[in-house]
Amino acid sequence: MARPINKLSAKAVAAAKQGYHGDGGGLYLLVGPTGTKSWVLRYQKAGKRREMGLGSAAVVSLLEARQAALQQRKVLAAGVDPIASRRAAQAVGMTFGEAADAYIESHKASWKNESQADQWTQSLKDHGPDRSIPVAQVDTAVVLRCLKAIWSDKTETATRVRGRIERVLDWAKVTGLREGENPARWRGHLDKLLPKPSKLKKVKHHAAMPYSQVPALMAQARERSGIARVALQFTVLTAVRTNEVTGAVWSEFDLQAKVWTIPAERMKGGKEHRVPLTDAAIALLKRLPRNKPPFALSENGMLNVLRQHLKHPYTVHGFRSSFRDWSSEKTAFAGEVVEMALAHAITNKVEAAYRRGDLLEKRRELMQAWADYLA
């Protein structure tokens, strides 16, 4: 009979005491005298017993360790010594850019939407280590140079980039491309070198553009082509959040029914949201290629167009406020219709319990009035 595998559980890993604890297939959890835990793969090659480290259990999960062990068993099955293969890979070297691409390719199938891979790629290109640097040579100094440039004024982006660098370097370590501690880890390392994000002075957001200026902004955005300009126009027309646009995939759109359905997992409130599409919004979508997500942009793609190209000191998110002000001052639509158009949660628990519909047709009239105003 074949030896059982996957014998350990997350609970067993957490409770494990000193010694070797087998998971099957040669994978072991090694707990040292001081309680440190690491993963090792035991195998035999040319009559010799060998032991290969697969990373610290503090950064490599049980699932990741199993995946790494399986990969190395495949190397062994091909007649190659995994340790020798690792050393050869380190000698040849893989760049950080290649490692980032490989990580993204191996994980994107498990991500919520296709555009997440594009966001990872773009953010690491914009703010990560130089793509040409060997991944084995990415150290604390390299990581700090990347993060210090944006840590204070783009804190949310910086923390996201730090986490992405950390994951790429963990992947590189598990696959044998680097050794040692992860220089991008926060706890016990970068938290000693950078101020906590929560302690930084919050950046004062610019006021929303007055609604009277938005039609001129839309005309200005139409003067030139470009995906970011199209995305900005679409965002203003639909009054949705930036990440809801950049994370969109074609399967969410029903152009015949003129409805865009944003799934619950992509909504701030965790509830599915249907957006009625005007002819103007549909016309923008029809200009885009179908072989990739419609608005595959970096997190600041639209903001860069607004600030650097169109020269306006506002935020993209502020157009939701512009829409809200316009609807209050220039239309007779009920406040509940406007609030539902903005996908705001109903604060009154009794009202929320009894409301079943999403006022789609009333919101369709509202969004058409907004589109007419912008045109």
Pick the CATH number of 96-199 from 1.10.150.130, 3.40.50.720, 3.40.50.450, 3.40.50.740: 1.10.150.130
Identity at 342, one-letter amino acid code? L
Structural element, H or E, at residue 254: strand 253-254
- Splitting the chain (375 residues) into consecutive groups of 10 residues, what average pLDDT does each group show? 75 92 93 90 90 87 89 84 74 82 84 76 90 90 91 88 94 84 93 88 68 95 93 96 93 95 86 94 94 88 91 92 94 91 67 61 96 95
Please tell me the CATH code under which domain 10-92 is placed.
Answer: 3.30.160.390
Residue pair 370/237 in contact by the 8 Å Cβ criterion? yes
User: Rounded distance, CA 354 to CA 24, Å?
Assistant: 53
Residue 101's identity, in one-letter code, is D
What pLDDT shows up at residue 354? 42
Fold adopted by 211-374 = hpI Integrase; Chain A (1.10.443)
Torsion on CA atoms 126, 129, 111, 98, rounded to nearest 10: 110
Rounded to whole angstroms, the Cα distance separating 337 from 325 reads: 14
Predicted confidence (pLDDT) per residue in 245-303, tens digit: 999 999 999 999 999 999 988 888 778 999 999 999 999 999 999 999 999 888 789 99
pLDDT for res 205: 54
Q: Where do we find the tokens 């191996």?
A: 106
What pLDDT, on a 0 to 100 scale, did the predictor assign at position 289? Answer: 92
Closest CA to 115 of 272, 311, 252, 275: 252
Angle at 174 between CA 170 and CA 176, to 5 degrees: 115
Closest CA to 95 of 59, 75, 124: 124
- What is d(CA 206, CA 319) in angstroms, rounded to the nearest whole number? 11
pLDDT number for residue 6 = 87
In whole angstroms, what is the distance from residue 293 CA to residue 288 CA? Answer: 9
23-29 long-range contacts, Cβ below 8 Å, gap at least 24?
23/62, 23/65, 23/66, 23/69, 25/66, 25/69, 25/70, 25/73, 26/69, 26/73, 27/54, 27/65, 27/66, 27/69, 29/57, 29/65
Q: Count of alpha carbons within 13 Å of 296, Cβ hemisphere only?
A: 18
Separation between Cα atoms, residue 228 and residue 303, nearest integer Å: 9
pLDDT at position 111: 75
DSSP string, 10-59: HHHHHH--SEEEEEETTEEEEE-TTS-EEEEEEEEETTEEEEEEEEETTT
Which structure tokens are listed for 25?
Answer: 């297939």
CB 115 within 8 A of CB 246: yes
**Can 96-199 and 211-374 be said to share one CATH topology?**
no
pTM of the model: 0.51
In SS3 terms, 202-238 reads as: CCCCCCCCCHHHHHHHHHHHCCCCCHHHHHHHHHHHH
Segments making up each domain of the chain, as ranges = 10-92, 96-199, 211-374
